[in-house]
Amino acid sequence: MKKQAVKLEDVAAVAGVSKTTVSRVLNNRGYLSQATIDKVHKAMQELHYRPNIIARQLYQQRTNLVGLVFPTVDNPFFGQLEACLDHELYKRGYRVLMGNSQNNPDRERAYLRQLLNGQVDGLIVGAHNEGIEQYRNIQLPVVSIERLVSKDIPVVAADNYAGGVLATQQLLDDGCQHIIHTNYPHDLASPNMERRRAYEELMRRHGLPMYTYEVSFDSSTAEKIKIFYRLFDEHPEVDGVFADNDTNASLIMQVARKRGRRVPEDLKVVGFDGANMTRTLLPELTTIQQPIQQMATAAVQLLQDQIDGKKTTNSVQLPVKLIHGTTA
Amino acid sequence: MKKQAVKLEDVAAVAGVSKTTVSRVLNNRGYLSQATIDKVHKAMQELHYRPNIIARQLYQQRTNLVGLVFPTVDNPFFGQLEACLDHELYKRGYRVLMGNSQNNPDRERAYLRQLLNGQVDGLIVGAHNEGIEQYRNIQLPVVSIERLVSKDIPVVAADNYAGGVLATQQLLDDGCQHIIHTNYPHDLASPNMERRRAYEELMRRHGLPMYTYEVSFDSSTAEKIKIFYRLFDEHPEVDGVFADNDTNASLIMQVARKRGRRVPEDLKVVGFDGANMTRTLLPELTTIQQPIQQMATAAVQLLQDQIDGKKTTNSVQLPVKLIHGTTA
DNA sequence: TCGCAGGTGTTAACCGGTTGACAGATAAAA
DNA sequence: TTTTATCTGTCAACCGGTTAACACCTGCGA
């Protein structure tokens, strides 16, 4: 137990009124004379009174906190997404409890266990780990972004299929014959798979060979680079790459240069995400831009609806856009 | 008021014991027979009981939450820093409450007002806004990162002066005669100013002209680009730039190319920060790397000490490193 | 038989706010 | 004068846990 802070009762004593009256002044509730209001305000000032939020939360059964469960914030896409979510939630009076799982199922579980115990009013999740059974039979409002969690939970996602088509078509239009795709391991039930489906359909339709390299999100940069070296070794004929995110696209271009390929002369590259940070640091990259801001807005709207008890469990899909750089 | 959840009392009723006994089982406290323990566990399982964290927090006057007040998470440096802080805090049993101020003093104030009301056990701040009076007379443990807040609050920072020397010296060694520096507006009392001081001292010592362009952190990308165009217009003779962060360095190089300058042939550029994301997306940039992980570790350690009541209000300064790229 | 230690469990106060129910006062309407 | 509406304010229960204080029981040594 920590030291005693000034509490409502102390204010009441100094102002010469009851706790209720102070609480009413605080919350602007019921009838109050100006004289009483002034008295109470004066007492609060004198004592440097700060109402204890936790006590209020306990009574109101509401914390105005929303948990964000994502892999990490140190990433152009998730960083911008969490920043947007934070901003949207702030506008509605919510604060954000960070739950970076680092793609560690234990951590995700730990966060969930804790957050479900009345710590937050709702959850927005985008972590990868499949089959976390705690998501089932959840009593809490939950919205998922770019992840399939459970069929009761609405998903906000970009139109990944259209994105896959745009990217692949761009490479085909550029005359590429040997296009390689990178994506998550396919056992992850992620909307990302739609990009792969689009890629494979287009390649098949054009009678071209298809190769997908699976790169898990939580691999280290060194591991990813190793995979990309292998990519060039196993497929020296590659003349186009459709990467599943801009960071991987950047790594692939670095490896390509090390292997003596010039981009875009010898190799075209299209990325995915088009986050602010990538646009600033790597503006030459041609990429499929996800509408991050809109995704955040939609997710928060869906969450608010659930918190308000509205039964709108509809998923949302938002359009993507091809950004023309110089790499494809 | 929301619907009633299963509470400790319900468990007690089902198990046929008192609230206290259930609480003891929960917290492993006092003497309990195995039979009682089993009975209680069985009842908890049956009812899917989850203890309400808020109630516990109220009694214990402790939330195991730490507030992070930074400008934004959508930035290579702050993104990585917050990820590291989150990780360090997690290891010690704390969760993170995000407080992105977006460099808006009102938002920073709003966060502070709320966080100080018992919402968090401590605060780690790195937001820019000077003179937020709420930081004075704070009862809460606070640590600041790369910001001077108030003299009672310990600061964790990189050795900015050494960084400024390294960067400027590199450009001088490269033979640059007209080196321009970018930094925050100088009225911000930030350790960043040490970089400027180092730059100016070296330039003066070499009898070279010095120009610092002030770019506020919260300007839009478009505004920053406008400033950098102006930089090249006003100083066509520039042959070296020491940017105060890698993002600005990237923008400057883009503007330089638009103006027909080749990097590094016509213009050398040194950045600052050396965060993961920049290293991945812009590996060719020569930059001064801040020890982000160590800064996070140090900050969390200092905070823990304060929470534990130890009186170690000493600030910490950590070494920086020059990363050789191809831009200088 | 009594005293005492160790084990087991309960009662009730407490954390710091919020609010329904209610009492008393004053003023306006009947 | 009585009734009714409008103010002003208090009491006590409540949110859901935690724990100090205490009571009871059993077994053992004196």
**Contacts B63 to A, Cβ<8 Å:** 54
Averaged pLDDT score across all residues of chain A: 92
**Residue A19, CB, strand D, below 7 Å:** yes
Instruction: With CB atoms and an 8 Å threshold, state whether B277 touches A276.
Output: no
By percentage, how much of chain A surpasses pLDDT 90? 68
- Single out the residue of A266, A274, A273 nearest to residue A328, CA to CA: A266
Taking the Cβ of residue A54 and every Cβ of chain B, the question of whether any pair is shorter than 8 Å is answered with: yes
Rounded CA-CA distance A157/A319 in Å is 9
Q: pLDDT confidence of A1, banded at 50, 70, 90?
A: very low
Taking the Cβ of residue B258 and every Cβ of chain A, the question of whether any pair is shorter than 8 Å is answered with: no
Bond from prior residue into A264 cis (ω within 30 degrees of 0): yes
Q: In the prediction, which pLDDT does A132 show?
A: 67
Q: In the prediction, which pLDDT does B205 show?
A: 97
Strand extents, DSSP E, chain A: 65-70, 95-100, 122-125, 142-145, 155-158, 179-183, 211-214, 240-242, 268-273, 286-289, 316-318, 321-323
Taking the Cβ of residue B274 and every Cβ of chain A, the question of whether any pair is shorter than 8 Å is answered with: no
Residue-wise pLDDT tens digits, B148-165: 778 888 999 999 999 999
**Which residue has better confidence, B200 or A21?**
B200
Whether the CB-CB separation of A142 and A123 falls below 8 Å is answered with yes
Instruction: With CB atoms and an 8 Å threshold, state whether B73 touches A86.
Output: yes
> Three-state SS across B6-50?
CCHHHHHHHHCCCHHHHHHHHHCCCCCCHHHHHHHHHHHHHHCCC
Q: Which of A38-47, A160-169, B126-135, B136-145 has the lowest mean pLDDT?
A: B126-135
**Contacts B295 to A, Cβ<8 Å:** none
Domains identified in chain B and CATH numbers:
8-51 (1.10.260.40), 63-157+292-318 (3.40.50.2300), 160-290 (3.40.50.2300)
Which of A269, A280, A306 best tests the B interface by mutation, with the highest count of B CBs <10 A?
A280
Q: Residue A69 — φ and ψ, nearest 5°?
A: -110, 100
**Contacts A251 to B, Cβ<8 Å:** 280
CA A306 vs CA A135, A153, A311: distances in Å:
16, 10, 7
pLDDT over 80 (residue B90): yes
Q: Is the dihedral of CA B80, B81, B83, B87 positive or negative?
A: positive
- 3-state SS assignment for residue B204: helix
Chain D: nucleotides under 7 Å from a protein CB?
7-12, 14-21
Whether the CB-CB separation of B202 and B169 falls below 8 Å is answered with yes
Instruction: Please report which helix (H) or strand (E) contains residue B213, including its range.
Output: strand B211-214
Give whichever of A32-36, A45-49, A124-128, B268-272 has the largest mean pLDDT.
Answer: B268-272
| Distance from residue A276's CA to nucleotide C24's C1', rounded to whole Å | 64
Q: How buried is residue A127: exposed, middle or buried, by Cβ count under 10 Å (0-12/13-18/19+)?
A: buried
Averaged pLDDT score across all residues of chain B: 92
pLDDT over 90 (residue A120): yes
Residue-wise pLDDT tens digits, A172-189: 999 999 999 999 887 667
What residues 153-212 of chain A have any CB closer than 8 A to a CB of chain B?
Answer: none
Instruction: With CB atoms and an 8 Å threshold, state whether A116 touches B50.
Output: yes
| Distance from residue B4's CA to nucleotide D12's C1', rounded to whole Å | 22
Rounded CA-CA distance A89/A298 in Å is 11
Q: In the prediction, which pLDDT does B261 show?
A: 96
Residue whose CA lies closest to nucleotide D20 C1' = B20
Mean pLDDT of B10-33: 87
Footprint of strand C on the protein (CB under 7 A): A 4-5, 7-9, 19-20, 23-24, 26-27, 29, 50-52, 55-56, 58-60; B 17-21, 24, 30-33, 35-36, 55, 58-59, 61
Rounded CA-CA distance B217/B199 in Å is 19
Nearest to A82 among B73, B102, B221 (CB): B73
Q: Which residues of A99-117 are buried (b: 16+ CB within 10 A; e: fewer)?
A: bbbbbeeebbeebbebbbb
Q: In the prediction, which pLDDT does B1 show?
A: 46
For B301, the token pair is 């350690």
Rounded CA-CA distance A57/A38 in Å is 26
Taking the Cβ of residue A106 and every Cβ of chain B, the question of whether any pair is shorter than 8 Å is answered with: no
Q: Which residues of A169-187 are buried (b: 16+ CB within 10 A; e: fewer)?
A: bbbbebebebbbbbbbeee
pLDDT over 60 (residue A156): yes
**Which residue has better confidence, B116 or A162?**
A162
**Residue B189, CB, strand D, below 7 Å:** no
- Cβ within 8 Å of residue B276, ≥6 positions away: A74, A221, B76, B80
Rounded CA-CA distance B81/B187 in Å is 24
pLDDT over 70 (residue A213): yes
Instruction: With CB atoms and an 8 Å threshold, state whether A118 touches B247.
Output: no
